[in-house]
Structure 1
Amino acid sequence: MTITPDFSAASTAVTAAVAGYLLLGEPFAGRRMYGSLARRRDTEPRALVRYFGVLLAAWWALAALAVAALLLSPGASAADFGLALPERPVYVVIALIVVGTVAVVSSRNFHDLARRGKNVPGLAPIAAMLPRTPEERRLAVAVAVTDGLCSELVYRGLLIAFGVGALGLDLYAAAALSVLAYTVAGWYQGRQGLLVFAVFGTVLAGLYLASGSLLLPVVVHVILSVRDLTLPAPTTLRAAPSA
């Protein structure tokens, strides 16, 4: 994979602001928001609905800034931001079949464990986000799809292009920077979240670099996010994490 984005001054300013927020603002904002949600989840019926509404608005705003950065740079192409068809479509199809199969099998297993009241791996850090009503479930799916689309455009497409085109980094160094920014976003889940986001971000960045397109990481991200955010929620939360 090779990209050669040429960022304009305006595009550089926009992307630098986005990158600064993702590295320095998002970890604290995310932790504070989730802590507030966890404390109010059992006492305010629409707490999760409002939380999901804020997430949707925030993600689409960041995605709009990513698109603005592309439009403000005549020397950058859509392919420089990952908006292109995969270089090896056959491998992409195979990867999606494997991921889809794993997601379906694991989802059935997780739902079965939840219905029997047993521990579901990785459930505790996101327990407050799990839906309990049909409205919450619909919003959870919308958030999962939005997360997959927008976060890949921002973290992989925009930040890697920015690292190469504006900071003069090697492609893999720029990818490492994007993984770092994605990792700290998991701070709202505590130390376990940082580890999970680091591993997941590395996998997604690898899929992007291997395919030359955001299509594969977007679909993988959406599949796994939908699986996780549609798990049955516990009746009550054991404890609300501190913000």
Structure 2
Amino acid sequence: MTISPDFSVASTTVTAVLAAYLLLGEPWAGRRTYASLARRRDAEPRALVRYFGLVLAVWAVFAAVAVAALLLSPGADAADFGITTPERPGYVLTLTIIFAAIAVASGRNFRSLAEQGKNVPGLASIEAMLPRTAEERRLAIVVAVTDGICANLVYRGLLIAFGVGALGLHLYAAAALSVVVYAVAGFYQGRQGVAVFGLFGAVLTGLYLATGSLLLPVVAHVVLSVRDLTLPAPDKLRAPSAA
């Protein structure tokens, strides 16, 4: 994979502002917002709906900045941002099927564990976001799909192109930097969340570099996010144990 985006001054400015916010502001804003949701989740019936609405609005702004960065740079094209067909369609199709199978199989296993009241790996860190009503479930799917599309467009498509075209970094150095920025977005889940986001971001970035397209990272991200955000919420009304 090779890209050679030529960022204009305007494009460099808007992307630099967004990158600075993603690295320095978003981790703290995300942590504070999620903590607020966790506090209000049981007392306010529509707390999760409002939280999801905020998440969708934020992703819309981030995606708009990515599109603006592309439109403001005559020396860059969509392929420099990963918006193109994969270089190896057969490889992408095979991995898509594998990811879908993994998501379905693991989702069934996680759901079974949750319904039995057993521990589901990582569930506690996103417990406040798990849907309890049909409306929340539908909205969770919308959020998962939006997250998969926009996160890859911003963190991989835009930031890697920015690293190469504006900062003059080698492609792999720019990719590594984008993984770091994505990792800190998991700060709302604590240090473990940063590690998980870093690993997941590295996998998605590797898929992007291997195919030259955001299609496979988006598909992998969406199927796994839908799996996680549609797990049943654990029962919070358990009776206290006898002394």
TM-score normalised by length of structure 2:
0.97
Q: Which amino acid aligns with 2:184?
A: V
| Correspondence list, 1:1-243, <5 A | 1-236=1-236
Contact 1:128–1:237 under 8 Å retained in 2: no
Residue 191 of structure 1 deviates from its aligned partner by: 1.1
SS of 1:62's equivalent in the other structure is helix
Structure 2: distance between partners of 1:62 and 1:149: 11
Contact 1:130–1:229 under 8 Å retained in 2: yes
Residue 99 of structure 1 deviates from its aligned partner by: 0.7
Alignment coverage as a number of residue pairs:
238
Structure 2: distance between partners of 1:153 and 1:35: 27
- For residues 171-204 of structure 1, what are the alpha-carbon distances to aligned partners after superposition, in whole Å with 9 as ceiling and x for unaligned? 0000011000000000000011011001000000
Residue 237 of structure 1 deviates from its aligned partner by: 8.7
Structure 2: distance between partners of 1:159 and 1:79: 14
Structure 2: distance between partners of 1:183 and 1:111: 26
Q: Which amino acid aligns with 2:75?
A: G
Distance 1:96-1:90 versus aligned 2 partners, 3 A rule: same
- For residues 83-135 of structure 1, what are the alpha-carbon distances to aligned partners after superposition, in whole Å with 9 as ceiling and x for unaligned? 00000001001111111111100000011111111111110000000000011
Structure 1: distance between partners of 2:214 and 2:106: 24
Structure 1: distance between partners of 2:195 and 2:9: 35
Structure 2: distance between partners of 1:22 and 1:236: 33
Contact 1:38–1:237 under 8 Å retained in 2: no
Query: Percent of pairs identical after alignment?
Result: 74
Structure 2: distance between partners of 1:223 and 1:171: 27
Residue 235 of structure 1 deviates from its aligned partner by: 2.9
SS of 1:124's equivalent in the other structure is helix
Structure 1: distance between partners of 2:122 and 2:28: 21
RMSD: 1.0
SS of 1:120's equivalent in the other structure is coil
TM-score normalised by length of structure 1:
0.97
Distance 1:210-1:29 versus aligned 2 partners, 3 A rule: same
Structure 1: distance between partners of 2:42 and 2:65: 35
Structure 2: distance between partners of 1:172 and 1:79: 17
Structure 1: distance between partners of 2:235 and 2:74: 52
SS of 1:4's equivalent in the other structure is coil
Residue 236 of structure 1 deviates from its aligned partner by: 2.4
Structure 1: distance between partners of 2:168 and 2:39: 44
- For residues 46-69 of structure 1, what are the alpha-carbon distances to aligned partners after superposition, in whole Å with 9 as ceiling and x for unaligned? 110000000000001100110000
Residue 37 of structure 1 deviates from its aligned partner by: 0.4
Q: Which runs of 5+ in 1 are unaligned?
A: 239-243
SS of 1:118's equivalent in the other structure is coil
- For residues 183-235 of structure 1, what are the alpha-carbon distances to aligned partners after superposition, in whole Å with 9 as ceiling and x for unaligned? 00000000110110010000000000000000000000000000000000123
Structure 1: distance between partners of 2:73 and 2:156: 18
Contact 1:131–1:230 under 8 Å retained in 2: yes
Structure 2: distance between partners of 1:111 and 1:237: 19
